[in-house]
Structures are given as structure tokens and as C-alpha cells.
């Protein structure tokens, strides 16, 4: 899995930071991508990556504030104008369907590909057998969600050397054995793949937060995550102002990562009031509580 930050500013863009959007590569296979939020200018940011709107299979909208959705109508239309016919699914709060349909109708636009819009509630959103995605309700002035992406455990490594010593030749049978299936050999022996697999490989977990003040759902969303992406709009001295507007500080994001026993934290959604030096100070505040903190910049990538 890999995340690429297309926008890392809060509220309004700056010279170096666009507003919120995160491109997510769900696995090692295929070119499909997911997008988390779609602030104004997201399709311009995509032009500076190896991806394009046609690669995007799913878009998750945390909430309907403009810095998270004003880029969505343009991206949907560009995807159609580029000739993409691949289906696209949107997930987000109540009102997302009305917003998209109204923008398309009033602008005389349309999509030439299947477009599904799911207005969600907290809970499991889907499980495709490889990844399970759940949503949690966050503390913000409007309905807002965070996302927990859990990769199913992988089968352990197949003991190919031991199988070869037992007279099992590499080939199609190995694929079945790696899945833990039973196979019958030409000599009549039955081999149980489960007996030739090492311990399962634990799947990775990523928690991506929308805008939020500290709240009761945060720990559940972040618990044990390999990576947390969390806003750090303001510095700790401005906690009261941040929380009153449904936002968090650098130290509050770090405290959550620490209490959730997470492996890594990436802070983003940085207020436009901060220069690069100010953003570095936010990072230092987070690292004082949770050393494994990174500061997102536009086009910064993180792999798991």
C-alpha cells in the first residue's frame, strides 16, 4: 500500500500546499487507485504524478466543506472527457449525491461511465476480500468521517524447498497449495497446503482522519494502526481555538498515535498561517510526544 499526498493545507491553498486530497494505492497489483477527499485543484495535482483520473476506482469524501470537495465535479468531468469507461464509486456523508448531481446538472455536464454514490453511516463500508474499510464519525461542525483500512492477513510463505524434497514439482499446484488447498498428486498422494505454509503475515492497517477535534471514536479508528494520517491544523498553544472549530493540534494528533499504539503518524491539513519554519515547529511538537511522526508535504509518499 502507498499514499501520496496531493494536498496538505487547511482551508485554503498556499504557494506550496494545495487543499486536501490523498491518493491511495491499495495493493501491489494493478493500476487502480483510491482518492481520499478532493479539494479544489486536485486534478491539477494529479498531472504531476504517474496517475490520472481514469486510474481512480473509489473516492472517499470525509465531509462537505469546500476544501475537501470543490475539486470533485471537475475531476468527474475530466475523467469522462478523457474517455474512461471504468466504473467509479463515491462514498461520503448525506448530501454528497445532491452536491454531485446538482453540479453536473447546472453545468450541463455528465459522465460516460457508471457512477455510484453511497451516502454512508458509521460502520463497515465494504470488504472486498482483500481490504476492509470502515468509517467512524468524527467531531466537526458538519457530518464528517474518518476511515480505517484493514488488509486481510496474508498466507504464510510456502515451503517450496521442502515440497521439492517431497517430490512435488513447482508449477500450478504450488499456487493451490499456497492458498492452503488440498491437492492430489499423480502418484495418488494428497498434499494439504496448510501443512506447508509458514505463519500468516499480518495485514497492514491505515487510519485516515477527516477534519476533527479529539473525540471518542478516534482511538477505535486508530487502534494498533501501522499508519495514522491525522490533521494538525494548529499548534498546541492554540488548542482551544482549534477544538472550538472542530480541529486538532499537533500535540493532540501525537497523543492519539501514542495512546493508540500506532507505528507511524503523518500530520497534514496545516493551517495557511504557518511558513515552512512554522510547519517544522508543528512537527517538533508532535515528535516530542510521538517520535515516529512525519510531516506531509504536497507529493510526499509513504509506503507500507
What are residue 87's phi and psi, to 5 degrees? -60, 150
Q: Kindly state the helix (H) or strand (E) to which residue 208 belongs, with its residue range.
A: strand 205-208
Half-sphere exposure of 91 (CA within 13 A, CB side): 22
Q: Which of 99-113, 149-163, 200-214, 227-241 has the lowest mean pLDDT?
A: 149-163
Domain ranges of the chain: 2-153+202-303, 160-196
Q: Which of 80-89, 169-178, 227-236, 270-279 has the lowest mean pLDDT?
A: 169-178
Active site residues: 67
Overall average pLDDT of the 81-109 stretch? 96
Q: Is the pLDDT of residue 165 over 90?
A: no
Residues of the binding site: 63, 65, 67-68, 140, 211, 269
Q: Locate 70 and state its grid cell.
A: 470543490
pLDDT band at 61 (very low <50, low <70, confident <90, very high): very high
Given strand 301-303, what is the order of strands in its sheet? 115-119, 88-92, 56-60, 33-36, 21-25, 2-7, 301-303
Q: Which of 66-75, 126-135, 188-197, 201-210 has the lowest mean pLDDT?
A: 188-197
pLDDT band at 29 (very low <50, low <70, confident <90, very high): low
Can you tell me the distance from the alpha carbon of 73 to that of 93, in angstroms, rounded to the nearest whole number? Answer: 16
Q: Is the pLDDT of residue 20 over 80?
A: yes
More confident residue, 191 or 265: 265
pLDDT number for residue 82: 92
pLDDT number for residue 166: 81
Q: Please, are residues 12 and 3 in contact by the beta-carbon 8 Å criterion?
A: no
Report the predicted TM-score, pTM, of the whole model to 2 decimal places: 0.89
Place of cell 472549530: 245
Place of cell 486481510: 152
Angle at 280 between CA 279 and CA 281, to 5 degrees: 90
pLDDT number for residue 186: 79
Dihedral angle computed from the Cα positions of residues 180, 181, 182 and 187, in that order, rounded to the nearest 10 degrees:
-100
Q: Is the pLDDT of residue 236 over 90?
A: yes
Overall average pLDDT of the 144-164 stretch? 88
- Give the architecture (CATH level 2) of 2-153+202-303: 4-Layer Sandwich (3.60)
Place of cell 499504539: 261
Residues of the binding site for Zn(2+): 63, 65, 67-68, 140, 211, 269
Amino acid at each position: 500500500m502507498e499514499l501520496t499526498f496531493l494536498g496538505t493545507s487547511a482551508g485554503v491553498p498556499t504557494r506550496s500546499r494545495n487543499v486536501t486530497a490523498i491518493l491511495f494505492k491499495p495493493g501491489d497489483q494493478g493500476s487502480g487507485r483510491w482518492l481520499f477527499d478532493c479539494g479544489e485543484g486536485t486534478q491539477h495535482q494529479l498531472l504531476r504524478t504517474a496517475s490520472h483520473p481514469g486510474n481512480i476506482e473509489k473516492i472517499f469524501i470525509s465531509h462537505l466543506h469546500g476544501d475537501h470537495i470543490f475539486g470533485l465535479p471537475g475531476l468527474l468531468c475530466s475523467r469522462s472527457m478523457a474517455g474512461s469507461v471504468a466504473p467509479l464509486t463515491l462514498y461520503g456523508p448525506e448530501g454528497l449525491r445532491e452536491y454531485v448531481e446538482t453540479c453536473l446538472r447546472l453545468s450541463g455536464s455528465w459522465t460516460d461511465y457508471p457512477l455510484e454514490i453511497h451516502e454512508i453511516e458509521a460502520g463497515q463500508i465494504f470488504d472486498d476480500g482483500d481490504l476492509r474499510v470502515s468509517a467512524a464519525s468524527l467531531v466537526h461542525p458538519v457530518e464528517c468521517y474518518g476511515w480505517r483500512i484493514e488488509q486481510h492477513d496474508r498466507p504464510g510463505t510456502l515451503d517450496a524447498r521442502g515440497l521439492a524434497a517431497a517430490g512435488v514439482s513447482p508449477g500450478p499446484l504450488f499456487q493451490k497449495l499456497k492458498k492452503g488447498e488440498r491437492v492430489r498428486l499423480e502418484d495418488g498422494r494428497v498434499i494439504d497446503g496448510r501443512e506447508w505454509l509458514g505463519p500468516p503475515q499480518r495485514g497492514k492497517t491505515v487510519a485516515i482522519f477527516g477534519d476533527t477535534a479529539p473525540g471518542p471514536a478516534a482511538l477505535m479508528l486508530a487502534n494498533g494502526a501501522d499508519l495514522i494520517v491525522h490533521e494538525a491544523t494548529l499548534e498546541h498553544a492554540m488548542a482551544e481555538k482549534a477544538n472550538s472549530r472542530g480541529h486538532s493540534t499537533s500535540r493532540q494528533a501525537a497523543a492519539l498515535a501514542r495512546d493508540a499504539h500506532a507505528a507511524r503518524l503523518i500530520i497534514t491539513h496545516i493551517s495557511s498561517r504557518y511558513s515552512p519554519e512554522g510547519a517544522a515547529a508543528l512537527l517538533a511538537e508532535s515528535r516530542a510526544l510521538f517520535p515516529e511522526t512525519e510531516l506531509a508535504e504536497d507529493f510526499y509518499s509513504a509506503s507500507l
